[in-house]
Amino acid sequence: MGVDSMTQDQKNDSIALLPLMGAAALAAVVAGGVQMALSSESTGAAARPSAVVVANEGQRVDLGVTADHRSRGAKAPQAQLVVFGDFASPFAATAGRVVDTLLGQYPEQLTVAYRHFVNTENHTSKSSAVAAEAAAKLGKLAVFRQLAFGRNDGLGYVDFSAWAGSLGVDDTAYRSAMADAATLKAVENDGKQADALGLNRRPTFYLNGVQVPGTTPADALATLIDQELKAGQAAGGLKALLKTEPFDLEGVDTGTLEQKKEGEARFGENKVRITDNDPSWGKPDAKVTIVEFGDFLCPYCKRGAAALRQLKTKYGEDNLRIVFKNLPLKMHRYADASARAVLAAGRQGKFWSMHKLLYERQKDVKSGGVDAILGLALELGLDLDLLMDDMTSVLVRQQVADDMSEAARMGVRFTPNYFINDEHIGGALPYNNFVQIVDKHLAKAGN
């Protein structure tokens, strides 16, 4: 199996909203965007919630998929794919393109059902789920999807109740649907189902009752669907198949969704530009270079940073170089101040010390803001007057802006993102998976 990289729950956050798109932009999104929603032709109230089911070892999970306001595809399906997703996750759009590919490949055999899987660490996750559910009740989930995933910068602080005009629905009706207790209940019921299944990754797929990582590429899923269609015929149909033993994922490529390919397609680039101003650890001619795009208030960046510190100890400065680039997300109130503070600390020779403290004391910064950041600087013995001068300087602000521009050039829209000798990894990896990738590149370098 491939490296289990993007635990989708790990993947994080995205930046802020652009103005509403025009018809041409929406059309472009329809062509290449997520297709986990049902078409705007489907209307009606929410389906009755199914009983929460649990996963028993050695058995498939019958999730009670029915044709409702959040499903699309074949009317008499021979295979079903349930997507537990989060509209506030930038990875959902990429997974959606996988789903869209499969629906185009199996229009008469496959149905896809969407289930909300709220991430409590992301303030926008719940509000977007409620807003999407309300839109679905009014037959506009497809349009909501276009708006949510058609923004270049993802979802930040959003007043979804103001989206009625863009959705093409009556403002009062949309606000009423959002405020309806049944709407919130539907979202919560989906969450209870996800919890009962022990899920922690967004998105996660269930193909005919068998859990499949949301990082699985379309071609690998297509191979599984082909196998399942044959198995379903032998079993006597989909309902009978759900009562048989689950298929095995051994040997199936469940690796990363290739975010780098998306970046290359949009920008024609796959090599990060490293400048003399970029904070780095290790020798410039080290055999392996890891470039991190990070946000100090992103919990997944915190996990990734801990793994990178272990890599420093394991490989040393001759073999490994780590370069940091700031990508402060607008959904995090003090992310920009943290980015400027770490660069200012670097001007006093304390970049990596501040880097470590900002991640370790992330909760303090989220609650205490700039005062908490300055408190960390005091702990490091920094000159606060000089730090604040540098934090507000044109040079430091420009360096943060340059990092963000480089992220955009590479097609990077969320944190963390890593480029390991130009191999793109979207999302934080466990330490052991980082080791596998670094070892692979060391072997290529003849170490």
In this structure, is the dihedral angle defined by the CA atoms of residues 405, 411, 416 and 417, taken in order, positive or negative? negative
Q: What is the pLDDT of residues 268-303, one digit of tens each?
A: 456 899 999 999 999 999 999 999 999 999 988 999
| 165 pLDDT tier (thresholds 50, 70, 90) | confident
283 plus 336 within the same structural domain: yes
222 plus 350 within the same structural domain: no
Residue 36's pLDDT is 32
335 plus 354 within the same structural domain: yes
107: three-class secondary structure by DSSP: coil
84 plus 111 within the same structural domain: yes
Q: Which of 225, 256, 287 is the last residue of a domain?
A: 256
Cβ proximity of 12 and 119 under 8 Å: no
Q: Which of 256, 279, 304 is the last residue of a domain?
A: 256
Q: What is the pLDDT of residues 104-113, one digit of tens each?
A: 999 999 999 9
Highest mean pLDDT among 1-5, 50-54, 429-433: 429-433
Q: Which of 231, 256, 281 is the last residue of a domain?
A: 256
357 plus 225 within the same structural domain: no
Q: What is the pLDDT of residues 71-101, one digit of tens each?
A: 889 999 999 999 999 987 767 777 888 888 9
First to last CA, the chain: 25
Region 162-183: what's the mean pLDDT? 92
Q: What is the mean pLDDT of the chain?
A: 82
Q: Which domain holds residue 274?
A: 261-444
169 plus 312 within the same structural domain: no
| 155 pLDDT tier (thresholds 50, 70, 90) | low
265 plus 164 within the same structural domain: no
80 plus 151 within the same structural domain: yes
d(CA 291, CA 294): 10
Region 143-156: what's the mean pLDDT? 64
Residue 1 forms part of a structural domain: no
CA neighbor of 96 nearest in space, from 44, 40, 183, 31: 31
Residue 266's pLDDT is 39
63 plus 150 within the same structural domain: yes
Total domains in the fold of the chain: 2
Residue 358, CA atoms < 13 Å, CB-side half-sphere: 31
428/380: higher pLDDT: 380
| 330 pLDDT tier (thresholds 50, 70, 90) | confident
Residue 241's pLDDT is 96
92 plus 176 within the same structural domain: yes
Radius of gyration of the chain (CA): 23
Residue 178's pLDDT is 95
